[in-house]
Amino acid sequence: MSRPLLFTNARLVDPASGKETRGALLVKDGTIADLGASLKTAPDGADTIDAKGKVIAPGLVDMRAFLGEPGAEHRESIASGSLAAAAGGVTTVVSSPETNPAVDDPAIVDYLLRRARDTAIVNIHPAAALTKGLRGEEMTEIGLLKQAGAVCFTDGAKTIANARVLLRALTYARDFDALIVHHTEDPDLAGNGVMNAGEYASRLGLSGRTIEAETIILERDARLVRLTKSRYHAATITNRDSIDIARRAKDEGLSFTCGTSINHLSFNEQDIGDYRTFYKVAPPLRTEDDRLALAEAVRTGLIDVIVSDHTPQDVEQKRQPFAEASDGAIGIETMLAAGLRLVHADAVSLPVLLRAMSTRPAEILGLPGGRLEKGAAADLILFDPDEPFVLSPSALHSKSKNTPFDEARLQGRVLRTLVAGKTVYEYA
């Protein structure tokens, strides 16, 4: 059993309550034993760390990351992905089911949990496929998959185009109180588009994907949630019109939550510049007006969750003409630093940012975490929100290096990450 650990002189940020205090925090037996301004002395045998005024907060909970196993270990593995997560302050990861084979059988969920137990340094929870083989046709055994340990059900970056299939899945999931996480982009409307539709796409000579490809599916899904009274989460909304749909669904009292990706909060379509494929993501980056609307929706809490949408791709898949390159960017290690751009720009407060990256995803998934309180699991991060640095892709821990933050100036460094009271990452 590890010795108690006392952090002194810390800025304690609890996103669950929105409170910030100065003081100390004691970790003992894997939990937060005590915290606050009145905590002064360490128990016998404890190690003491002077936080020097830096932030201690709950570890981040990332609802959407691809970890490669099984079938794509050359792009990422559970071990490398969890190391990248720890370095980014992420203590809990929901792994995407878009593996080979897809996570559509309880035996694969069990395999992933065992691999995570043996190789991961952060908490890994599998998401299971919503349809067999991610084909959008035949529903999986939601009850058995949940019993095996799946925390939510999704076809990842694939949309279930058949409304009847989704209706059945929502109805079935309701009976198991299971969460459906859905990618909302009509594949027929998206067609062969490779970036946001509009003037900029025309100037680049690239085919576009309209926001209606997203909003039509989102509007349809809201109606199905109203019909079934099931638990639904839109994985990544990306534009102002989708925010309006989410607002109406929430005002109606539906069990409807939504997220967006750190990429869509950080960049707009013009960042593609001279056909830079690291900015090719799905759904595509939108306009600056949409990006600002997303940030405002995070500030107000209308958007519940920010995800990394961590999608490792090898060089061969990205070093292609823009139209032919694969979608996706890595982001699990840079999510916090990128999000802090919003804080430094006064678009959101630090507790609000952390709430979207830890408290709300934990609440929606029904997982522990996201709270800085006595008795909570000591899944914690110590970070300096002001330390500037230039991101070098070679310094990242992911197996793939397709980061849109290549050589970007960022501000905010993770200094230490703890999972269940054990230090799993320390910045040297």
Q: Are residues 50 and 109 in the same domain?
A: no
The pTM is what? 0.97
Name the DSSP letter for residue 72.
-
Q: Which helix (H) or strand (E) holds 375?
A: none
> Residues 82, 163: one domain?
yes
Instruction: Give me the numbers of helices (H) and strands (E) for the chain, helices first please.
Output: 14, 17
Please return the burial class of 241, using the count of CB atoms within 10 Å of its CB with bins 0-12, 13-18 and 19+. Answer: middle
What integer pLDDT is reported at residue 1 of this predicted model?
Answer: 63
Q: Is residue 121 part of a domain?
A: yes
Q: Are residues 210 and 269 in the same domain?
A: yes
- Answer whether 140's CB lies under 8 Å from 129's CB: yes
Is the same domain home to 311 and 383? Answer: no
**Where residue 2 falls among pLDDT bands split at 50, 70, 90?**
confident
3-state secondary structure of 377: strand
Is the same domain home to 306 and 370? yes
User: Can you give the residue range of the structural domain that contains 52?
Assistant: 5-56+377-387+410-426
Task: For 215-238, write each residue's pLDDT tens digit.
Answer: 999 999 999 999 999 999 999 999
Question: 176 and 85 in one domain?
Answer: yes
Q: What is the CATH number of the domain that holds 37?
A: 2.30.40.10
pLDDT at 326: 96
- What is the tens place of the pLDDT at every residue in 154-211? 999 999 999 999 999 999 999 999 999 999 999 999 999 999 999 999 999 999 999 9
Q: Distance of CA 189 to CAs 212, 235, 336, Å?
A: 8, 18, 33
Q: What average pLDDT does this structure show over 390-395?
A: 95
Task: For residue 385, say if its preceding peptide bond is cis, omega within 30 degrees of 0.
Answer: no
Sign of CA dihedral 249, 253, 254, 258: positive
Place of tokens 């899944």: 379
Tell me, yes or no, whether 110 lies in a domain: yes
User: Are the C-beta atoms of residues 196 and 209 closer than 8 Å to each other?
Assistant: yes
Tell me, yes or no, whether 165 and 285 share the same domain: yes
Buried b (16+ CB within 10 A) or exposed e, 71-83: ebeebbbbbbbbb
Sorted by sequence, the CB contacts under 8 Å of residue 297 that are 6+ apart come out as 243, 246, 260, 303
Provide the mean pLDDT of the chain. 97
113 & 28 share domain: no
Q: Would 355 be classed as within a structural domain?
A: yes
What is the identity of the amino acid at 120? A
Q: Report the pLDDT value the prediction gives residue 374, as an integer from 0 to 100.
A: 96
Q: How far apart are CA 335 and CA 311, in angstroms?
A: 13
Distance CA 374, CA 419 (A): 16
Check pLDDT > 80 for residue 376: yes
CATH number at residue 218: 3.20.20.140
138 and 280 part of one domain:
yes
322 found inside a domain: yes
Q: What percent of the chain has pLDDT over 90?
A: 96
Q: Is residue 393 part of a domain?
A: no
- Cα–Cα distance measured from residue 309 to residue 235, given in angstroms and rounded to the nearest whole number: 9
**Residue 27's closest CA among 424, 425, 427, 419?**
419
Examine the domain organization and report whether 38 and 182 are in the same domain: no
Please state the domain count of the chain.
2
In-domain check, residue 125:
yes
Domain-located, residue 394: no
Instruction: Give dist(CA 284, CA 291) in Å, integer.
Output: 12
Tracing tokens 């080979």 back to the chain, one arrives at: 100
Q: Is 251 known to be catalytic? A: no
Whether residues 41 and 30 fall in one domain: yes
Residue from 309, 314, 346, 386 carrying the catalytic annotation: 309
- 359 has pLDDT over 70: yes
Residues 390 and 312: their CA atoms lie apart, in Å, by 21
Q: DSSP strand E in 150-228: where?
A: 179-182, 195-196, 208-209
Query: How many whole angstroms from its chain centre is CA 327?
Result: 17
Q: Is residue 212 situated within a structural domain? A: yes
Residue position matching structure tokens 């970790």: 27
Q: Tell me: the pLDDT tens digits for 73-114?
A: 999 999 999 999 999 999 999 999 999 999 999 999 999 999
Q: Across residues 239-250, what is the average pLDDT?
A: 98
Residue 56: strand pairing partners:
12, 382
Q: What is the pLDDT of residues 14-35, one digit of tens each?
A: 999 999 999 999 999 999 999 9
**Tens digits of residue pLDDT in 255-295:** 999 999 999 999 999 999 999 999 999 999 999 999 999 99
Indicate whether 12 and 69 sit together in one domain. Answer: no
